[in-house]
Amino acid sequence: MAAPGWLPPGARPAVRVVDMHTGGEPLRIVPGGLEPGPAGPTLLARRRHMGAELDHVRRLLVQEPRGHRGMYAAVLVPSELPAARLGALFLHGQGYSTMCGHAVLALGRFALDAGLVPAPSRPETAVTIHCPCGPVTAFVPWDGRRSGSRVRFHSVPAFAAAADVTVDVPGHGKVVVDIGYGGAFYAFLSAERLGLDVCSSKTQDLVDAASAVTEAVKRQFKLHHPDNEELAFLYGTILTDGKDAFCDEPTTNICVFADAQVDRSPTGSGVTARIALQYHKGLIQLNQTRSFRSSTTGSLFTGKAVKEAKCGDYNAVVVEVSGEAFYTGTATFVVEEEDPLKYGFSLK
């Protein structure tokens, strides 16, 4: 049996990671040590630099043979914000996102357990995480020894970008969607409008339909973000069960983002954007908690609008999202220079 810390002869250690999941959605955390690290004076500049100069690191982390089609990762970097304990760049199969709620829930735990927050307080510690969309605060249980699994966060100001927008979707005709922002932009509609059931239709049928909606909205609707146009892109489409009015029963959805990647969780930034849309439409009030179920795993998040805010000219809300995050492993990935697939590959 190989000794602890053993590495294959001739292989160089490329990166060390900690793996977690939140509601079934994986998160591969790179605590640091990338050489060279993503450079730039701001987090958005580091995001641009990583995409342009270090994209092989993303491919190594999330693509096969070390990852898979559904893998997601976060690279921890310094933040220019004094209040933030850490900055995070979010990586997926196609590129880089601006916000990731399931990652924030997991990173809150990791920050405490890894000692990134000096002197955590009991029974709960606030951890500000600088995301590309802005600072997000996670609230993490702490018993004096380790973090608890149920974490909540307060979002950046979330808003309804557009309601009842008609788009022409190939194969489905004219379809009405809402567009919400929760750190990333999503299109929302009931799966029933596409002739599907979010709870019982085949996942591939839901993915194909959601992807068609995403492409149609990208072609037919121009997004705008008042803070930075770098944030103004449609990340994906979330198909729902249509239960937008407040009730005590969970509402079910599936999020299809980036290049037809399926979120296994109820999607933290998607819950944020959906709450903002429901508040905009008068379907939910401040501090009314709703439960959101993933159609893929059955995992649950809760969400509620906790206060009104502004984002440029948009009326917005700060949304609290909670869910459970768990550790699944650690790994040291190595590279052999003669390996033609050392930086990964992707199969569709």
**What was the pLDDT predicted at 342?**
96
| Of 13-17, 23-27, 237-241, 285-289, the least confident | 13-17
Q: Is pLDDT above 70 for 268?
A: yes
Residues with catalytic function = 100
Percent of the chain clearing pLDDT 90 (strictly above): 93
Identify whether 123 is preceded by a cis peptide bond (ω within 30 of 0): yes
Tell me the pLDDT band of 5, cut-offs 50, 70 and 90.
confident
Per-residue pLDDT, averaged over 4-10, amounts to 85
Taking the CA atoms of the chain, what radius of gyration do you get in angstroms? 20
The single residue listed with the structure tokens 């979002």 is 155
Instruction: Return mean pLDDT, the chain.
Output: 96
pLDDT digits (tens, 9 = 90+) for 198-254: 999 999 999 999 999 999 999 999 999 999 999 999 999 999 999 999 999 999 999
**What was the pLDDT predicted at 6?**
86
Secondary structure (DSSP) of 190-253: EGGGGT--TTTS-HHHHHHHHHHHHHHHHHH-----SS-GGG-SEEEEEEE-S--S--SS-EEE
Per-residue pLDDT, averaged over 157-180, amounts to 98
pLDDT digits (tens, 9 = 90+) for 132-161: 999 999 999 999 999 999 999 999 999 999
Contact 165, 179 (CB under 8 A): yes
Phi, psi of 50 (to 5 degrees): -65, -40
**What was the pLDDT predicted at 1?**
67
Q: What is the pTM of this model?
A: 0.97
Instruction: Give the list of residues 6+ apart from residue 156 with CB closer than 8 angstroms, or none.
Output: 99, 131, 133, 134, 135, 136, 182, 183, 311, 318
